[in-house]
Structure 1
Amino acid sequence: MTLGPQPDNAMLPHRVVMSARSMPGYAYGARSPIWWGTVGFAVAEGMGFAIAAAMYFYLVFINGNWPLSAPPPDLLWSSLFTVVLLASIWPNQRAKRDGEREDLASTRRNLVIMSLFGVVLLVIRVFEFGTLHVRWDQNAYGSVVWLLLSLHTLHVLTDLGDTIVLTVLMFTRHGHGKRFSDVGDNAFYWYFVVASWLPIYVIIYWFPRWW
């Protein structure tokens, strides 16, 4: 079998420019590709919250009287949810810090605590839905309020699922190396869950009282 003409440098010896053997297989923060993927998720999902909030204020603008055919939602469960959510920042930060230190015992403890926080928040959220004083299908006001609250609930549930899976992994033989980097990414996403709730809380529970 005859091959076509070969380039002049075809027989030249290859020279290794850089070896990747010594490079780490994972990193923390902005040095990690997964971290940038989490940032992308947060930006995209933040736009979803912004669109839902814009729908809310559009309905306020075209209706004038607000809320429609219902009193403002109660503050008890929503305020308790907010307090517990803000309290979760401390163990979340400790989980991130201990993960970067690759302190397995402390990371396990903090992940268990964060999992319990997630469960407690979802229980509170169930009671919170019962104090909206409007069904999702009652009118446009009910639909947009339930949409905003459901979107945030989905994010809490998603992060809780991720935290539980990560907690289980840290108690197995997989609890080393890249898993510590995953702890930091999970903590970063939880900050997004906390930050996204604060404007939603004001919109749903305080704006109708100020309008």
Structure 2
Amino acid sequence: MSTAVPKGQAPYYFVPGPSRHPVMASIGLFFVILGAGQWVNGVGWGAYSLAFGLLWWAVVLTQWFGDAIRESESGLYSQRIDVSYRWAMAWFIFSEVMFFGAFFGALYWARMHVIPNLGSIDNALLWPDFKAIWPSDAPGYTASPAGTVEPFRTMGPWPLPTINTALLLTSGVTLTIAHHALLANQRAKTIGFMWITVLLGALFLGLQGYEYYEAYTHLNLKLSSGIYGSTFFMLTGFHGLHVFVGALMLLFITLRLQKGHFTPERHFGFEGAAWYWHFVDVVWLGLYVVVYWT
């Protein structure tokens, strides 16, 4: 334990004491799930429960992460803790790969198996006028054989998705420049390129919000627009959520850099956020090709 370690020397493996944070975070998540479940079912107080849970959760995470930062900056984290954090982040990103893999798999299965099977001779008596064509942008197509889904137009790759692709790829470059500057102990350069990276992430989110506005108002493309609409908003929406989380991570890392945190030798907090951001970039490239071009 740290009490038996000489001053200025990290313990062999730091074990924190009992903490209230896990229980408090669970309480916040309870109100989030309860409120979301009630809200989508038309219960008025569900939105307030959701907002309360998110606020509670944000406060708890702020305190929790603050404790971890203070432990790190006070020298309690040895190389073994650093290794454990790296493994934890690696497994977390792997779980995210599986998360998006499931959604890409659903899109693949719908396009390559479900729609051809529904258009086969076996279903001709059930839906004689069904057209097994992707994307499903008109009544009688895959969206709605009975015409219950309104006609819509699909979202093409130009201009907003292509601009967003350029923004994310550029942000990966600026983040890499910031990392190399940190390794060279050029703090001012690191902070400058980190702010550029955060700004590029914010621009991406702003353009994606405008893209959704265009989809709903001018293309009539909605979440209810058949299997095309549901998979489009599911994949791009979850990716946008991950961009938001990654941008927050980079923002707080930048603020920590301005406070003098991290050194060329010890900066896994920076590296973990960078790993996550590069993962987000790679996922978007897959989305850009599969969702917008094919």
Please report the TM-score for the alignment, with normalisation by the length of structure 2: 0.57
Q: In the TM superposition, what are the counterparts of 1:76-95 in structure 2 within 5 Å? A: 76-95=159-178
How far apart are the structure 2 equivalents of 1:26 and 1:82?
Answer: 39
Q: Does 1:39 align with 2:90?
A: yes
2:135 to 64, 67, 83: 67
CA shift in 2, pair 1:179/1:168, >3 Å: farther
CA shift in 2, pair 1:149/1:179, >3 Å: farther
Q: In the TM superposition, what are the counterparts of 1:1-211 in structure 2 within 5 Å? A: 21=9, 25=77, 32-60=83-111, 61-63=113-115, 64-69=132-137, 70-75=152-157, 76-132=159-215, 133=219, 134-172=221-259, 175-177=261-263, 180-207=267-294
Taking only the aligned residue pairs, the percentage that are identical comes to: 22
CA deviation after TM superposition for structure 1 residue 86, in Å: 1.1
CA shift in 2, pair 1:32/1:93, >3 Å: farther
How far apart are the structure 2 equivalents of 1:125 and 1:152?
Answer: 10
CA shift in 2, pair 1:26/1:72, >3 Å: farther
Structure 1 stretches (4+) deviating beyond 6 angstroms?
A: none
How far apart are the structure 1 equivalents of 2:268 and 2:108?
Answer: 39
How far apart are the structure 2 equivalents of 1:56 and 1:78?
Answer: 19
CA deviation after TM superposition for structure 1 residue 26, in Å: 5.9
8 Å contact kept, 2:167–2:201? no
> Which residue identity does 2:114 align to in structure 1?
I
> Which residue identity does 2:250 align to in structure 1?
T
How far apart are the structure 1 equivalents of 2:97 and 2:176?
Answer: 21
8 Å contact kept, 2:156–2:293? no
Q: Secondary structure at the match of 1:148?
A: helix
Q: Secondary structure at the match of 1:143?
A: helix
> Which residue identity does 2:235 align to in structure 1?
L
The alignment of Structure 1 onto Structure 2 pairs a total of residues equal to 184
CA deviation after TM superposition for structure 1 residue 131, in Å: 4.4
CA shift in 2, pair 1:187/1:49, >3 Å: same
How far apart are the structure 2 equivalents of 1:96 and 1:36?
Answer: 20
Task: List gaps (5 residues or longer) in structure 1.
Answer: 1-19
Structure showing greater relative contact order (alpha-carbon pairs closer than 8 Å, 6 or more residues apart): 1
CA shift in 2, pair 1:108/1:26, >3 Å: farther
CA deviation after TM superposition for structure 1 residue 118, in Å: 1.0
CA deviation after TM superposition for structure 1 residue 179, in Å: 7.2
